[in-house]
Amino acid sequence: MNDSCKTTWSSAEDLVGKLKIGDLVEFKRCASSGVGLYNHWGVYMGFENGIHGIGHVSSTGNLIKKSEICVENLFDVSEGGDCRINNSMDILFDPSSENCIKSVIKNKLGDHTYNLLVNNCEHFAKMARYGMSVSGQANNAVALLGAVAVFAFTLNPLTSIAAGGCLYCISFLKDITFMPFFKYLVETILNKFLPKKKYLGN
């Protein structure tokens, strides 16, 4: 995997030579006017079957409709836009091995449990690399909506900013603390009573 946590934005053609299996790849998604809409995320799977594969959640463009986990060509996923390696969470968490990351993605192929609203492409990519579903974009959305709602009731900008900050922290901590702890608790109980078997990815 790549030792550089984050590269500068570039074309897929310029980026491909820097990619290592397991790298998270962030893709810019822009409107026809060039205004940025959001960033799409995927995981580099290496060169197989004649393509530089990206494991990602296929985009439906619908907030509610389920999307599907698939592996597609890097150059198709980029849609001609800029992209970059973004392993920035390596600073906080150790990434899984290349084989483990590829195994997670292959086992999820065809999974339809993802959507833009609550379980998106960034959640999936970071789950594959770090074992936890985290989305900065989703956390930002929660914080923004919360701040707007608080401002609508209080008409106090400082209160709304504080509320937004608190909601972001709660959302982030939920991703990195509560779910991993719950997984550890269940895993410990299962292994205690059934020690000869392995569960939850152990």
> Quick check: is 112 catalytic?
no
Residue 125 scores a pLDDT above 90: yes
According to the model, what pLDDT value does residue 151 have? 58
The DSSP bridge partners found for residue 139 are none
Supply the mean pLDDT for the chain.
76
According to the model, what pLDDT value does residue 83 have? 97
Residue 172 scores a pLDDT above 60: no
56, 83, 121, 123: the active-site residue? 121
40, 52, 56, 123: the active-site residue? 40
Q: Report the percentage of the chain scoring pLDDT > 70.
A: 60
> Quick check: is 121 catalytic?
yes
Q: Comparing 47-51, 125-129, 140-144, which segment has the lowest mean pLDDT?
A: 140-144
> How many CB atoms lie under 10 A from the CB of residue 177?
11
Instruction: Report yes or no: 181 and 160 within 8 Å, Cβ to Cβ.
Output: no
What confidence tens digit (pLDDT) does each residue in 151-164 have? 566 767 777 676 55
| 2 vs 202, higher pLDDT | 2
Instruction: Report yes or no: 129 and 45 within 8 Å, Cβ to Cβ.
Output: no
| 74 vs 163, higher pLDDT | 74
